Structure 1
Amino acid sequence: MAEAFKFELVSPERLLVSEQVESVVIPGAEGEMTVMAHHAPVMTTIKPGVVTVKTAAGAEERYVVFGGFADILPSGCTLLAESATHVNDIDRADITRRIQEAREDAADAKDDESRAKAEQFLSQLTTLEGALLPA
């Protein structure tokens, strides 16, 4: 059995997780990362995606996050999400609304850099929608 470490998932609304876990898979900006006990110190931005938590008891929980950042230390990991919810509580209408807002942001962008960022976020949201909410 893998060694446990402290993991916290925090959104502006509430603390979603604060417990000992074996591993956490996070959607880092540069790709998915698996965090385990004694991980090298890293701070990374988070893109919209799914955080998979394997608890010390062996259960697996999944949470949808919409951006933020993770602070990873050998002793634990704290993920500060812009918005987060348990996968079972995800609302199709919320994702559809976020996608529409991202489309509008891309269309209204004043310069190429802003447009590229909005299009990247839109791409991440549509990928997330496809993974979580099959038609």
Structure 2
Amino acid sequence: MANSFNFELVSPERLLVSEEVTEVVIPATEGEMTVMALHAPTMTNIKPGVVSVKTVKGQVERYVVFGGFADILPTGCTLLAESAVAVADIDRANLTQRIRNAKEDVADASSDQARQKAQEYHDQLVVLEAAV
């Protein structure tokens, strides 16, 4: 049996997950990252995407996150999300509206840097929409 560690997924609205798990896959800004027990200490930003959580019972639970950051230690991982929801509970209308808003932000950007950041966020949301 694989070693387990404590994982917490927290959004401003509520605590979504707090349990012992064997593996968590997070959408880090540098690329997808798999966290397991005894992982090296790391902090990373999270981009919009899907977090997959493998419980000690072997079940896989999936959550959509819209940004945030993860604090990873050998004994646990805490993901603080700007917004998060279980994939089964995703509101497609809300996701579509977020994509529309992001597209408007690209058009309304006042600088090249702001436009690039808004475009990256829009592109991440489009990829997320395809993933769920």
Shorter-chain TM-score above 0.5 = yes
**How does 1:8-23 map onto structure 2 within 5 Å?**
8-23=8-23
| Aligned-residue CA RMSD (Å) | 0.4
Q: Which runs of 4+ in 1 moved over 6 A?
A: none
Please name the residue that 2:54 is paired with.
Answer: 54
**How does 1:61-76 map onto structure 2 within 5 Å?**
61-76=61-76
- Count the aligned residue pairs: 132
SS at match of 1:6: strand
1:14-53 alpha-carbon deviations (Å, 9 max, x no partner): 0000000000000000000000000000000000000000
Q: Quote how far apart the aligned CAs of 1:57 are.
A: 1.1
Matched letter for residue 60 of structure 1: V
**How does 1:1-135 map onto structure 2 within 5 Å?**
1-132=1-132
SS at match of 2:58: coil
C-alpha distance in structure 2 between counterparts of 1:131 and 1:32, whole Å:
13
Q: Please, which runs of 5 or more residues in structure 1 have no aligned partner?
A: none
C-alpha distance in structure 2 between counterparts of 1:42 and 1:63, whole Å:
21
C-alpha distance in structure 2 between counterparts of 1:58 and 1:107, whole Å:
45
C-alpha distance in structure 1 between counterparts of 2:131 and 2:13, whole Å:
25
C-alpha distance in structure 2 between counterparts of 1:130 and 1:5, whole Å:
30
